[in-house]
Chains A and B, each alone.
Chain A
Amino acid sequence: MAVQAQGGQVLWGRGFESEWGQPYGVWIDALRSPLQQYSAPLPPALGKLFPEFVSAASAVQSDRNQLFDAIASVLSHLSHQATPIVVIFDDMQWLDEASIALLHYLIRLLPHLPLYFAGTARPKALETNVAAYQLVKALRRDRRVKTIGLTPLDATATAQLAQQLGAEIAVEQIYDSSGGNPLYTIEIAQAIASHNRPYSENLEVLIQERLQTLSSEAQELLTWMAALGSSFSPNQINHITDCSLLTLLSVMAELEQQNILHPAISSNGEPGYAFTHDVVRQVAYHRLSEPRRRLIHRHIAERLQPLTETNSAVSSDLAHHAQLAGEHELAAIAFLTAAEHCLRLFAYADGAKLAQQGIEQCQWLEARPRVRLQLRLFKVLVLAGVTRQTSQAIEAQLHELIQAANHLGMSDDEAIGMEALIALNYEQDNLAEVHQHCLLAAEQGRTASPAITARMLAYTGWCLADIGQEMQRAEALLLEAQSLASRVELELIDLPSGLGCVRWHHGNFEEARPLLKQAWQMAQADQDHWREFVCLSYLVMFELEAGQPLAALTYCDALSLASAQLEGGNEAAIAAAFKALVHHQLDQTNAQMQLRQALVTLQEVDAQRTRAYILTWIADHHLKQSAVETALTHAQAALEAAQIVNHPSNMALAWTTLIQAYLTQNRKQEANHHFQKLKQQVERHSLSARANQAIAKLEQAWKDADLKLK
């Protein structure tokens, strides 16, 4: 309410334990309503999650990165329409891995927007959701999350709650029995207020006693609702139970009045109801005997099955009910459809989980259906990404199944098994096992796999970090790649290399150093001389900026050796220039002459990026030595070189030195002119910590010189 009073918007979604297998379900809930009133064209990639707003056909070619960027673009647009935007997720311990990955990506990518994320979770339960737990841990480490623990209600709050429910007489008694637990308080208060009856000390029994006071129609429909899940629409109840509209309306009113249900958006996106508390649903559900539950789930599965032909998102629900009904073949087929649906949405962890569950269902089947379904389920499992450890076991099982298919004369299924094997071997880089004519098929099958996506994202993130552009996006891509790569135990040099650059950019030297060193070691192990050269050049620059020129010197010889391994290019000149700079910083003999010669060579080979970097150091050195004219000349040259290659941080560093040199000479007009250009051409939030510190120092110097900033 406070957010809305400020003109902002709240987007809300909730995780439900019984609704697993719905990738991005919480995001679909949170965004469905705002998208109905969206004032701009929607990105095509959203068709994967919102086919009702964007044609699903237009999203076919999109990848996970495009889907994530599409959501980012929607939130960015919304934050310009209403400020602030607060996204709230209840029960985060029940969120799927894909939703958590998207949340993490957005937190990293959009810190500059008036966009806030809040979540609720039970601490112990959160630890069982690995993805959610890792997210909270990472945010805590970066100090980007504030945790507020909820304490039990005190006596005053309990009294207020009890009074609202009409049980003001027995407030003390309620507080003693409930111990401040809100749900317990509500149940006891309602027992006293509505029937003034003795109540059980056991919460579940308390709830059961309350449910028994409902009308017979309400109790009957409640069991179907509890079996369906935490939320449902009236249409779903009608479709499954065939009850009359009048009865349905009457029952809904009764259950709403009894605070058992409240209005909510159901899991299929329609307006509906949700249980006020999952404990109430569980009590309603477990009142049934096991055989009766099975029958109910079988009936629900039979009613859902026709719907899966037009909507594969229903398959996970069908699988759930079929499994609980003991309908193993139906469950296995539904798990397969649901797993494939997850892969199309790049929800690899959820897809793998569903595929595994499908495989387990197959153990009760006859030979032919078992072989047919397991081969397809294993193929999905492979495409969702497997570790090296599990790939051997999977390969063995695939061989067995292929042999069984061959014995049974199931040639089509045998071919699917071969495809799965090819994909598995390709993923594990066993290219010798893959015949040439199968490579294309393997490539086509690979495009959605987490390994491929991880490689793409890691490369892109590193590239951005290397160029020094869009560091927030670089970090978001790299962390997403890291999460995907860890699923399949893939080690990518782009990850420590890129993340090292990002940490370094933010001035976080303690975290950057081991990452950059790790990248160097990986390059050495791969005998990738160019990557070795790049990693070593990072380390030289890094240690100089960390104020450790001696450490930088230890990398210079290796840098020269690596550059000597590279044919055709000018890396040797760049290595020599870095070495000269380090010697210069260490005040070594002949360093100035070496540096002068190195700069001449850099100009001759047209290496402006390195030239800009080195010139900023020299300009700064001369300014500190009070050689102002020399500092001016070098700063001007550094600025020109940095502008040629459009490196914002180097531009900012060159400019600050130039402006300070002008201020030292009391050339206020020139200083001001350049300061205005700096502010026009460079965005502060994109600059490195080093460049931002230089600007802050300049602003202080400006204040000290008693000049007005325009």
Chain B
Amino acid sequence: MIVDCAAIAIFFRITQLSVFRSFLAQLFIHLHMTRVLVEKIFDEPISQEKWDRDIAIGIPCHNAHNVHWIRSMMARDRRRVICEFEAPDVETVQRSFRKAKLPFARIWAIDLIEPSTSVIAQPSEESYL
């Protein structure tokens, strides 16, 4: 695992220098980044050590694929995690996870809906009937 981590770190160092040469391409990609969720389910609660190792392996690989980790939401029993990424598309995130040999249960693209962006209508009288 440490070997894979080092290999991935080398890959990241090489590609970050030259993977996006064109400013126009960069701008296009920036405007078209997608939010992707990855769900992981563990038979046993995941230990902090295992979690740290997965991060050490996964993050350099993800960065090399232009997949950026936003946050993770871990269940209190540590058996389920949903990780949020910003990436070109779901296929890229999936490929990065497979390359880093990090299993996952599901992966999908999302649209972010937050209260600040939603119109909250006042309930009508009928809704209480």
Q: Residues on A close to B: CB < 8 A? A: 63, 65, 443, 446-447, 452, 455-457, 459-460, 463-464, 467, 469-470, 473, 530, 566-571, 574, 605-610, 643-646, 677, 680-683
A607 touches B105 (CB 8 A): no
Closest to A682 in B: B22
> In the complex, which of the residues B19, B99, B105 contacts A469, with contact meaning CB atoms closer than 8 Å?
B19
What's the count of A-B pairs with C-beta under 8 Å? 108
B88 touches A646 (CB 8 A): yes
- Report Cα–Cα, A566/B98, bound state, in Å: 10
Interface of A is mostly: helix
Closest to B13 in A: A66
Contacts of B18 in A (CB 8 A): 469-470
Stretch at the interface among B1-9, B78-86, B115-123: B1-9
Q: Residues on B close to A: CB < 8 A? A: 2-4, 6-8, 10-11, 14-15, 18-22, 24-25, 28-29, 32, 34, 36, 64-66, 88-92, 94-95, 98-99, 103-109
Contacts of B90 in A (CB 8 A): 570, 605-607
Contacts of B25 in A (CB 8 A): 643, 646, 681
Separation in Å of the A645 CB from the closest CB of chain B? 5
**Known contacts A570-B90, A574-B91, A646-B66: A470-B29 contact under CB 8 Å:** no
Closest to B1 in A: A443
> In the complex, which of the residues B6, B32, B66, B106 contacts A456, with contact meaning CB atoms closer than 8 Å?
B6
**Known contacts A469-B19, A473-B14: A606-B109 contact under CB 8 Å:** yes
Separation in Å of the A685 CB from the closest CB of chain B? 12
Known: A456-B6, A566-B98, A567-B105. 20 other contacts (CB 8 A): A446-B3, A452-B3, A459-B4, A459-B8, A459-B11, A460-B11, A463-B64, A464-B14, A464-B15, A568-B106, A569-B104, A574-B91, A605-B108, A608-B92, A609-B89, A643-B25, A643-B28, A643-B32, A644-B89, A646-B88
- Report Cα–Cα, A445/B18, bound state, in Å: 32
- Report Cα–Cα, A682/B64, bound state, in Å: 20
Q: Shortest 4 CB-CB distances between A and B: which pairs?
A: A606-B90, A607-B91, A608-B89, A456-B7
Contacts of B64 in A (CB 8 A): 463
Separation in Å of the B50 CB from the closest CB of chain A? 16
Contacts of B32 in A (CB 8 A): 643-644
- Report Cα–Cα, A608/B91, bound state, in Å: 7
- Report Cα–Cα, A569/B106, bound state, in Å: 6
B24 touches A606 (CB 8 A): no
Contacts of A682 in B (CB 8 A): 22
**Known contacts A460-B14, A463-B99: A645-B92 contact under CB 8 Å:** yes
Separation in Å of the B74 CB from the closest CB of chain A? 18
Contacts of A646 in B (CB 8 A): 19-20, 25, 29, 66, 88
Scoring B25, B34, B66 by chain A CB atoms within 10 A of each residue's CB, the highest score goes to: B25
